[in-house]
């Protein structure tokens, strides 16, 4: 007899979110709870925190499990969003071997779980699989230009290998897979010390410190607000089984780093100067998503303009730095993390 059937006492879909206590994961958990799902958030709190999900902890359809996905996991679920992985260069380069293990062993473990439970599974991949591309913008068919022995390889190659595993499980075992290639995403609950350009500029501006630009500031980035991204992830999960991806998800609006610094200065009312540092190794000169496929197959495009998204992100960091809530932290806890311009 099927134990799965016996143990079920609810008709709600059971969704596992690995990395659910992280920046994107916490917003995804909120959206899924609001959508009537039963959510199991699995996280080892490597870069995520309980503060990110404290508002969900008492919810009857939310469950939190501390677990490292490099070890197998035995739970019963219908859908899996695999987001667990440190995402910013500062964090993924801190313990590069663990980063590769999380991407590769982690993928093997969650794919094994999906195979056993027949769950649909979505991988949070990244634009970094394109490396330092010589094609702009990058369509999904572009196979990338990645340095396999560089400092970013633990993340880039780890994510590439995870994509390989997803497609091999699909071809070999018939798993229902979805691969999202996520481009630079920002919003409330980004880690304040992770060296990403949006959080760096906002924290520096709010603390009255100089805004650090790497290179001459003419390199461009695109910025997708987290609500738009999470909407796309759920649409992708709910798309027909034939749609495996990979699908690029991001905001194609391009801004130079200098534009962004000036916007943040203006919106925070800061008088901080802008200072320049040398560009880090392997840093892409341009990163812009081609989202034609997502538009066509998911009927999705970002809706939040940079200025509105920045307002909400600035409000979050302001509360973190100056608020009295449990998540508030002291300015002295902010080191100026070496900024890497791509996630
Ligand atoms: N934020 C972006 O701009 C961006 C861009 C491209 C791809 N992504 C991908 O989206 C996902 C989420 O990114 P994020 O920005 O929310 O990062 P994040 O660091 O805030 O979230 C990652 C979460 O995974 C958890 N985690 C890490 N290793 C784990 C392990 N071995 N077992 C269990 N949990 C583990 C962390 O504690 C954290 O809560 C990542 O897979 C990342 O590669 C993010």
Instruction: Tell how strand 220-222 and strand 254-256 pair up.
Output: antiparallel
pLDDT at 327 over 80: no
pLDDT-derived band at 287, boundaries 50, 70, 90: confident
**Cβ neighbour number for residue 180 with a 10 Å cutoff:** 24
Q: Whose CA is nearest to atom 11 of ligand 1?
A: 83
Q: Is the pLDDT of residue 159 over 90?
A: yes
Summarize the confidence of residues 295-321 as an average pLDDT. Answer: 97
Query: Which of 30, 51, 85 to probe ligand 1 with, by most ligand atoms within 8 A of CB?
Result: 85
- CA 96–ligand 1 middle distance (angstroms): 14
* Mean pLDDT, range 82-93, rounded to an integer: 95
Beta bridge partner(s), residue 41: 17, 64
Quickly state the pLDDT bin for 136 (edges 50, 70, 90).
confident
pLDDT in tens, 41-73: 999 999 999 999 999 999 999 999 999 999 999
Rounded CA separation 305/34 (Å): 24
Q: Is it the case that residue 296 has pLDDT exceeding 50?
A: yes
Task: Quickly state the pLDDT bin for 337 (edges 50, 70, 90).
Answer: very low
What's residue 343's pLDDT? Answer: 40
**At 164, is the pLDDT very low, low, confident or very high (cuts 50, 70, 90)?**
very high
Name which residue leads in pLDDT, 7 or 155. 155
Q: Ligand 1 center to residue 85 CA distance, Å?
A: 4
Q: Which residue has the higher pLDDT, 280 or 192?
A: 192
The pLDDT of residue 323 is 77
Task: Please tell me the distance between residue 343's alpha carbon and the centre of ligand 1 in angstroms.
Answer: 10
74 is a catalytic site residue? no
Dihedrals phi, psi of 161, to nearest 5 degrees: -65, -40
């Amino acid at each position: 007899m099927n134990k799965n059937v016996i143990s079920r006492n609810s008709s709600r879909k059971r969704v596992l979110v690995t990395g659910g206590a992280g920046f994107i994961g916490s917003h995804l958990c909120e959206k899924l709870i609001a959508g009537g799902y039963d959510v199991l958030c699995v996280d080892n709190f490597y870069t995520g925190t309980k503060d990110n999900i404290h508002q969900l902890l008492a919810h009857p359809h939310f469950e939190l499990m501390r677990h490292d996905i490099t070890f197998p996991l035995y739970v019963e679920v219908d859908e899996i969003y695999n987001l667990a992985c440190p995402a910013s260069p500062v964090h993924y380069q801190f313990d590069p071997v663990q980063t590769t293990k999380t991407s590769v062993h982690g993928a093997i473990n969650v794919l094994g779980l999906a195979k056993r439970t027949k769950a649909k599974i979505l991988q949070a991949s990244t634009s970094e699989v394109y490396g330092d591309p010589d094609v702009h913008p990058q369509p999904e068919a572009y196979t990338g230009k990645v340095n396999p022995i560089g400092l970013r390889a633990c993340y880039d190659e780890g994510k590439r290998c995870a994509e390989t595993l997803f497609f091999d499980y699909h071809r070999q075992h018939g798993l229902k897979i979805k691969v999202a290639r996520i481009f630079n995403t920002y919003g409330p609950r980004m880690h304040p010390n992770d060296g990403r350009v949006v959080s760096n500029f906002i924290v520096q501006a709010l603390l009255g410190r100089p805004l650090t630009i790497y290179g001459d500031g003419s390199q461009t980035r695109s910025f997708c607000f987290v609500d738009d991204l999470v909407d796309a992830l759920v649409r992708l999960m709910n798309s027909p089984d034939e749609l495996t991806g990979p699908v690029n998800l991001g905001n194609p609006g391009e801004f130079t780093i200098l534009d962004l610094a000036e916007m943040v200065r203006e919106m925070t009312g800061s008088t901080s100067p802008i200072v320049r540092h040398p560009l880090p190794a392997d840093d892409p000169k341009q990163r812009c998503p081609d989202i034609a496929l997502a538009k066509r197959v998911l009927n999705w495009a970002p809706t939040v303009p940079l200025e509105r998204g920045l307002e909400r992100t600035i409000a979050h960091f302001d509360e973190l730095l100056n608020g009295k809530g449990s998540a508030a932290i002291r300015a002295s806890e902010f080191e100026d993390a070496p900024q890497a311009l791509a996630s």
